[in-house]
Amino acid sequence: MFNIQENFEMVTILNEKGVIINEKLMPNLSDKELIKLMERLVYTRTFDERCVALSRQGRLGFYAPVSGQEASMIGTHFALHKDDWILPGYRDLPQIYFHGVPLKQLFQWSKGHFKGGSMPDAVHVTPPQIIIGAQIIQAAGVGLGLKKKNKKSVAVTYTGDGGSSQGDFYEGLNFAGVFATPTIFIVQNNQFAISTPYSRQSAAATIAQKAIAAGIQGVQVDGMDVLATYMVTKAARERAVLEGEPTLIETITYRFGPHSMSGDNPKIYRTDESEISWFQKDPLQRYRLFLESLGLWTSQDEEHIVEEAKADIKEAIKQTELDREQTIQDLAGNMYEFLPRNLKEQLNHM
C-alpha cells in the first residue's frame, strides 16, 4: 500500500479540521479502538504536562517533552504487537509505557536510578537510549535475531531528525537492507535537532528518501495525524513480518516545548509565526474534531482520562520517591560481575 520508492509525498488521512481527505487509506478500526487512540493521546499530553511540572519542581531528572508529537508516538505504537521489540530514544517514554513499562520505572529511569533500566522480563523494550542514534544499529541487530529465530515479530526503533545525521543511522539502515531484517526505523522529524534546523542537517528534501541508498522501503507521513501514522506503521509491520522487508518511516511533526528540561529555550531559534502555524496542527485537536463528528467523544470523556492520568502519575512519583537512594556500591555492583582490583580498593577505602 505504501510502496512509494520514487514518490515521497506526505501520507495524510485527516486534515487539520479533522475531516477525512483520503478515504481509501482509512484504517478498519472499531469505534472502541478509535476511542482508545484518543484516550492514549490525551493521557500522553497530560503525562507530558505533569512531567514538565515535576521537572521544574526538581522531582525528576532528565526529561524531554513530547507535546505535539503524540500522534507520531501513539499512532505508530498502536500498530505494534506485544511481542514486537521497541528500542526507544530518550523522548519515547509514552510508547514504552503503553508497551508495558510501569510509570514508576519511567520516573526511576529519569532520575538515573539503576532500577529504571531493568525492564520487566515480559516487556520487549530496551532502556531509552541517551546516545543519539545508537539504538538504530541495535534495532537492526535485534531484527536479525528475530529473523534467525523465525519470530513473527519486528524490531522498532525511534529517533529524531538529529538522529538521522549520525553515522549509526546509515549503518543501521544498510545492515537491515543487506540482511533483510524485520526492522522499522521511525524518524520523528520535529524540525530541530535541539536548535539546529533540518535544513542545516541535510540537503535531502526528505529523510524518507534516504531509504533508497539502503535498498529498503521509505515513506513520509503526517506526524500530526494519528490515523496516518497508524496505517503507515501497520503496513510496514505487515511487510516486515510477511516479506522480511525493513522500512524507514519519517513522521513530520513538531515538539511544542523545549528539546529537554535541561535549559533549552526554543524562543531563541524558533519564530512566533512558525510556532502558531504548527499549533494549528495540534494532533489532539485534529483527532478530537474527527471523533466528535462521529459522536464518539465528549469533553466529559476527556476530563475523565485527564484525571485518571493525573492520579496515576501522582501515585507513581510518590512511590518513586520512597526508593532508597542508590549508592556507589550499587553502581559498581551493577556495572561489574567481578570488581576490578582498583575498584575493590577504592570501595574498601570508602
What is the separation of C-alpha 60 from the centre of its chain, rounded to a whole number of angstroms?
19
SS3 156: strand
Query: Residues 99, 237, 239, 255: which is the catalytic one?
Result: 255
Rounded to 5°, angle at Cα 179 from 177 and 183: 65
77 is catalytic: no
Residue at grid coordinates 556500591: 329
37 half-sphere exposure, CB direction, 13 A CA radius: 30
Hey, is 340 helix, strand or coil? Answer: coil
Q: Is residue 259 annotated as a catalytic residue, yes or no?
A: yes
Active site residue 269: yes
> Given 81, 269, 304, 336, which residue is catalytic?
269
196-197/155-160 β-pairing? unpaired
Q: Which of 77, 259, 286, 288 does the annotation list as catalytic?
A: 259
Characterize 301-320 residue by residue with b for buried, 16 or more Cβ atoms within 10 angstroms of its Cβ, and e for exposed.
bbeebbeebeebbeebbeeb
H/E element holding 291? helix 283-293
Element (H, E) at 141: helix 134-148
Radius of gyration of the chain (CA): 20
Neighbour-count burial of 328, counting CB atoms closer than 10 A to its CB (0-12 exposed, 13-18 middle, 19+ buried): exposed
SS3 296: coil
Active site residues: 255, 259, 269
